[in-house]
Structure 1
Amino acid sequence: MSVFQNKTFFITGASRGIGKAIALKLAAAGANIAIAAKSVEENPKLGGTIFSAAEEIEAAGGQALAIQCDIRDEAMIIDAVAKTSARFGGIDGVINNASAISLTNTEDTESKRFDLMHDINVRGTFLVTKHCVPHLLKSKNPHILTLSPPVDLSPKWLGAHVAYTLSKYNMTLLAMGWAEEFKQDGIAANSLWPVTTIATAAVNNLLGGEYLMQRSRTTDIIADAVFYIMQQKATAFTGRQLLDEEVLKESGITDFSGYAVNPANGLQKDLFL
């Protein structure tokens, strides 16, 4: 029997992209997935809804619960967590994937965009984890995983897009804090970030279009890294700022060529690396 059989994972932003890829990988091993995301109607530029994701997850072999949840709204988070626990009997892992991005300088960052990034990336991540903790405490191997970069205070990352950098580094600081706060409770907390850009709607629509997509890796590399992390003993595998490549090397994978969207092209390093 798979170690993920009947385990339940609460994943924010799992209707598409990296979040959905993680969900599908865990579901194929028998996991239950709570899809906590906003999309109930498909946006042609983004693709996918919580309902289409749920269908794919169940086709992959897992059980899915589609929950409309804007993590800026604490009441919606509380409701989503309650529905997940009621349906599946608990929560074994929280994957903080939902995030907002704006690579703008100070003058070009509108206050509403600053607020959006901090409300989703920082406050939302905090509140999702806060309300899942009572359920994680009952799990035999509980994990909190936050998709955010290793903290590097090189001025170039702060100067380029300080508002976004602050929000992402704060996500990592939360992960570091939770590792310390919950180590006596046996809850693991780590952050994870890709070494190269990942082919997602954000990359295609906001960051570099098809040119950058062709120099990215598929979402499978993140999904495979998460699959390994969630199998590790929570009491030992915690407090780390992880990169996808180093995780996969630990798991025994050293050839990453199969993850490239186009192996003929060079790969673009992701931000913060």
Structure 2
Amino acid sequence: MTTLSGKTLFITGASRGIGRAIALRAARDGANVAIASKSSVANPKLPGTIHSVAQEVEAAGGRALALKCDIREEDQVRAAAAATVDAFGGIDILVNNASAIWLRGTLDTPMKRFDLMQQVNARGSFLCAQVCLPWLLQAPNPHILTLAPPPSLDPKWWAPHTGYTLAKMGMSFVTLGLAGEFGPQGVAVNALWPRTIIATDALNLIPGVDVARCRKPDIVADAAHAVLVRPSRECNGRFLIDEDVLREAGVTDFDSYAVEPGQPLLPDLFL
């Protein structure tokens, strides 16, 4: 299978950035895309809403469902999944993309921000998986793909921002556990992470990053697509890097993914 035509994807945090790019890549195949995000009203600081992305998905050739959903709220996630099944008849793929970020040290991390990261990142990924799994287990080629880094206990990733690293690695450990539990039942559970920093709105929270030295979200979307079309029983429990996935798929020229081709690229956190 090389296409997501007719498949139903439930994507969290899909109103902008990497989530939006994954939605649009699937839409070009003719997929059904449930856009589950909090942003239902335009924000001048953060472009993109569930409605604007739904329009883009339809224009790209897919079917879209805009779902206002805060993945911290169990009732909202259950309602969003039920609406997806009502609209499209099932769920084939869950993409855990929603994530909260705060790159500060311990003394500069308000507990409100710490709690938000744990609730959205690790707990949110677990909740969305729990809610979608009954349908995934019935799907012919089910996948859970989480935007999370390879697990690491190296203090260099923990010392600068323990709260964020805990939340992000939490997503990685959820992936590890779900892969062990559901891989044998035919659900592929994998994580994907970019080799370089990706030019998204989250960059506004990272001081001093030169956008010219980043890549566009399209590279992660193309890598996600390459993973999601694989047979689910042949690809499970892996911590994949976007560039490696695309090389494996035969891509040799990565210049088109650069914001400014020829610039030295900034490696992402956790790699």
Query: Normalising TM by the smaller chain, what interval?
Result: over 0.9
Partner of 1:4: 4
Q: Please identify runs of 4+ aligned residues in structure 1 that moved more than 3 A.
A: none
- 1:119 and 2:98 equivalent? no
Map 1:1-273 to 2 at 5 A: 3-203=3-203, 205-208=204-207, 211-273=209-271
Percent of paired sites with the same residue: 54
CA shift digits 1:220-252 (9 cap, x unpaired): 100000110001010110110110011001111
Distance in 2 (CA, whole Å) between partners of 1:38 and 1:67 is 8
Cα pair 1:2 1:30 within 8 Å, conserved: no
* Residue 6 (structure 1) shift: 1.1
Task: Tell me the distance in 2 between the aligned counterparts of 1:67 and 1:169.
Answer: 27
Structure 1: state its 5+ residue gaps: none
The 1-side partners of 2:137 and 2:230 are apart by 17
1:32-61 Cα offsets, whole Å, 9 max, x none, are 000000011111111011000000000000
Superposed CA RMSD = 1.1
| Displacement of 1:254 | 2.1
The answer to whether the 8 A contact 2:103-2:205 is kept is no
How far 1:196 moved relative to its partner? 0.3
Give how far 1:184 is off. Answer: 2.2
8 Å CA contact 1:97–1:146 kept in 2: the answer is yes
Contact 1:29 1:61 in 2 (8 A): yes
For residue 36 of structure 1, give the secondary structure of its aligned residue in structure 2: strand
Secondary structure of 2:146 counterpart: strand
**DSSP 3-state at the match of 2:108:** coil
Greater Cα offset, 29-38 or 176-185: 176-185
- 1:206 positional shift: 1.2
> 2: CA distance between counterparts of 1:60 and 1:81?
23
Number of matched pairs: 271
Aligned letter for 1:224? D
Partner Cα distance (2:113, 2:207) in 1: 20
Structure 2 CA distance for aligned equivalents of residues 206 and 220 of structure 1: 21
Contact 2:15–2:35 under 8 Å retained in 1: yes
8 Å CA contact 2:2, 2:229 repeated in 1: no
Q: Deviations over 1:101-145 (max 9, x none)?
A: 001111111100000000000111110110000000110000000
Instruction: Report the alpha carbon displacement of residue 2 of structure 1 after superposing the two structures with TM.
Output: 6.4
Q: TM-score, normalised by structure 2?
A: 0.98
What is the one-letter code of the residue matched to 1:97? N
Shift of 1:257: 1.3
